[in-house]
Structure 1
């Protein structure tokens, strides 16, 4: 199985005898007499596309609702708190490959606080940009879903390697720029200017192609018979990509309208 460039999905590969992604699902386990030892629970039944859709909708809905409340009632300063909490939860969920709904919804809520706060600030500076960013994110998501479903772009090992490398490079650049800013240095990849706009466009493209890999991982998990509870983990992975995509589109639109 190929590995996604999304950090959440990198360890999601079937291992033949151990089930999918270490969750150990192999259908009903047989006793020594050839009979099922116990019927699978609802959480252990094979995952379906409906499971992915409903869990993703619940996760995304939590982010949207909390984001709206954050923008309406919380001070902009909570953006940093939301970002830190979201990062910590993301690392915990990723390394543990957790399918705990409470943990994943907590991550969605933290991201809602973060996104709501930064959206409030940017939309104040550039009125109307928030709605445009939401529409842009939806359009990119729908477009990449159509591209994947129609097979217009095949998720091949070569493409996967390119996207993984591009994603790692993008995050390395973001971290480097952040570290340099602590010393009063600006690489020009954020803020206003032609270079910042180009970087934002490239990042949006990388995030969009990450969606292809996320769709492919969900498709493969379903075909591999992953347990239904694993849909929560896939929903989390999609949210990681969508948060990045929205932030980059919001940043790009703000730059274009302020120039």
Structure 2
């Protein structure tokens, strides 16, 4: 099963199967796992064997494999940079000034996001730069929305956190399962929505009209929030598969980055939906 999150799509280790089934040398050669060390155990005394087997099993940190703690820590780092950048932009930028830099920052941030997602090499530095730039984007965007709709930013933050928590509970309780059919349908819907947003952006640039200001704007906003929320299910699933398959520890950065990109998307959609609902104020 292939993830629809670009941060995971290039990594087969995030799929059902096994990354750590046998060592790297055997994996490259296509051979069965070797049994090196059997002669060594034969030369050990019974006391030494008993002591060896009494030791606790090696965990992720001891084997160099990714763990949930690794993902949590790196997610915290990227989110910390994102929030710090957004806060600094809001506080230090005069109202309206950040909007002029919004489009260039978004384009650069999108480029960094694609680089980090599509690169076969894990690039923590690029992911940090993405979080820094997108934090500035969210800070300027939030400042602009708050100046028009008082209290909309705290509501959007609470809505984003609520959606995240709801999707996590739905995933952990298996209320929503990331089946192959679910993944394919969500991927098609996500691609369709992305094309729709681009077309609407092009029309609005030339005509000034936008579906977001139409009587059905709230419906499109709700679709955006729903899609972004459901993509979290795929993120959770592929993080779980990566841990189960014994992905190298450095890939925790990529797992964290996938979560951050989805949450950024969810927050923007939540902000836009609330603005549509409060448009008449």
Shared fold (TM-score, shorter chain, > 0.5): yes
Q: How many residues were matched structurally?
A: 247
Q: In the alignment, which residue of structure 1 is the partner of 2:266?
A: 245
Residue 108 of structure 1 corresponds to 131
Task: Name the CA distance, whole Å, in 2 between partners of 1:46 and 1:159.
Answer: 29
The alpha-carbon deviation at position 200 of structure 1 amounts to 0.6
Q: Distance in 1 between matches of 2:192 and 2:224?
A: 10
**Are 2:14 and 2:238, in contact at CA under 8 Å, matched by a contact in 1?**
no
2:46 maps to none
Verify: 1:66 aligned to 2:85, yes or no: yes
**Hey, which bits of structure 1, 4+ residues long, moved more than 6 A?**
none
Q: Is the 8 A contact 1:44 1:229 kept in 2?
A: no
Aligned residues of 1:97 and 1:233 also touching (Cα < 8 A): no
Structure 2: runs of 5 or more not aligned: 27-33, 38-60
Q: Between Structure 1 and Structure 2, which shows a larger proportion of helix residues?
A: 2
Does 1:171 pair with 2:173? no
Q: Is the 8 A contact 1:66 1:112 kept in 2?
A: yes
Partner of 2:56: none
Per-residue deviation at 1:225?
Answer: 0.4
**TM-score, reference length from structure 1:** 0.87
Shift of 1:160: 0.5
Structure 1 residue 221: deviation in Å?
0.4
TM-score, normalised by the number of residues in structure 2: 0.80
1:85 — aligned with what? 108
**5+ unaligned residues in a row in structure 1: which ranges?**
36-41
Deviations 1:152-195 (A, max 9, x none): 11111110111000100010101111122232263x422x2332
1:60–1:108 CA contact under 8 A, matched in 2: yes
**Residue 6 of structure 2 is aligned to residue 7 of structure 1:** yes
> Is the partner of 1:194 in helix, strand or coil?
coil
Distance (whole Å) between structure 1 residues aligned to residue 190 and residue 79 of structure 2? 22
Greater radius of gyration (CA):
2
Assess, with a 3 A threshold, how the Cα gap between structure 1 residues 70 and 166 changes in structure 2: closer, same or farther.
same
Partner residue, 1:48:
67
| Alignment-derived partner of residue 203 in structure 1 | 224
CA RMSD of aligned residues (A): 2.6
Taking the aligned partners of 1:185 and 1:26, their CA distance within structure 2 comes to: 58
Given the superposition, is the C-alpha separation of residues 180 and 26 from structure 1 closer, same or farther in structure 2, using an over 3 Å criterion?
farther
